[in-house]
Amino acid sequence: MPELPDVVVYLEALNRRIVGRPLRDIALNSPFVLRSVTPPLDSVKGEIVREVSRLGKRIVWRFSDERWLVMHLMIAGRLRWRDTVPPASPVRRSQGTGKALAQPPAKLVLATFTFDAGRLYFTEAGSKKRASLRLVQGRSALQALDPGGLEPIGASAAELRTALARERHTLKRALTDPTLVSGIGNAYSDEILHHARLSPLARTDALTDDDWRRLHEAVQSTLTVWIARLRAETGEGFPERVTAFRDGMAVHGRFKQPCPVCGSPVQRIVYVDHECNYCAACQTGGRVLADRALSRLLKGQWPRTLED
């Protein structure tokens, strides 16, 4: 799922292309992506996009009369921009890179937004179709879609501690709960906890003052560093490679690969559609955390330490 750094870079690219410009047309390829009825989606055709912003992991376009178009990319949703070129050409060129980009496969396109300068494609891979689009009117209707979590960048250590400690959870769950903290998901929570040298299963009510200090520093550093990296990677173009698995990540998606700090193999816990990646040497004192499925299968043979 695109998380806070990815969404920030999406917004910056959209701001350069669509803010202050009229939305000429909207084509829905999948009627199920639209989750609202009033006001009608056609009512913003021809309207100028006044602003783009973020609501948690959602992308929001503001139109006149307090109408807000809200996109939730969920896990597999992405945005793809193609500059306008003569219709006879099946190829678009990415701004700033000169690389030829084909149109997104039609089966992936949920909706297409047409502007004078180009088209924005709202796509989703896979068959679960969780991504959504809503048009709401009035600030109260927009706020009803806000999970209410703390904006982490710029939050003080005390504010972060208050937000995360509001309920007794593991750190992994607390960081990824949008009602507690905004915009952090599976990938960046792994990176934050590795930076802070904290176990993903540590309880929020059992952290020391030093643990909280390290966690706050890790949140600020990890998110700002990755925003800067993604900005540099995108340049003036449009972000095409939006993924949870990136070169340069310390632990996320790096199962069995060496930890960049200590060289120990990165460990993993798999649950449902997600995974938690961590370094046992750096974060859990060498203890291997139980995997819900595999540890039950192996029972007494489950390795408890890196040495095992």
Q: Could you tell me if 68 and 142 are in contact, meaning their C-beta atoms sit under 8 angstroms apart?
A: yes
Alpha helices (H) in the chain, listed in sequence order: 4-17, 139-143, 157-164, 171-175, 186-196, 209-234, 280-283, 294-298
| Cα separation, 47 vs 24, whole angstroms | 8
What pLDDT is stored for residue 92 in this prediction? Answer: 46
**Intra-chain end-to-end CA distance of the chain, in Å:** 34
Q: Which two three-digit tokens encode residue 276? A: 């938690």
pLDDT value of residue 297: 38
Residue 291 confidence (pLDDT):
65
Asked if residue 215 has pLDDT above 50, the reply is yes
Cβ neighbours around 274 below 10 Å, total: 13
Report the sign of the C-alpha dihedral through residues 53, 238, 80, 121, in that order: positive
Digit-coded pLDDT (tens) for 16-72: 999 999 999 999 999 899 999 999 999 999 999 999 999 999 999 999 999 999 999
Report the pLDDT averaged over residues 92-104.
60
User: pLDDT digits over 148-159, tens only?
Assistant: 999 999 999 999
pLDDT of residue 100: 59
What's the rounded Cα separation, in Å, for the pair 51 and 64? Answer: 10
Average pLDDT over residues 153-174: 96
Q: pLDDT by residue (tens digit) across 33-45?
A: 999 999 999 999 9
Give dist(CA 131, CA 122) in Å, integer.
9
- Residue 272 pLDDT greater than 80, yes or no: no
Whole-prediction pTM: 0.89
pLDDT (average), residues 286-296:
67
Q: Mean pLDDT across the stretch 138-143?
A: 97
In angstroms, rounded to a whole number, what is the distance separating the alpha carbons of residues 195 and 261?
10
Domains of the chain in sequence order: 4-143 (3.20.190.10), 157-301 (1.10.8.50)
Contacts for 204 with CB less than 8 Å, ≥ 6 apart: 164, 165, 167, 168, 169, 170, 171, 174
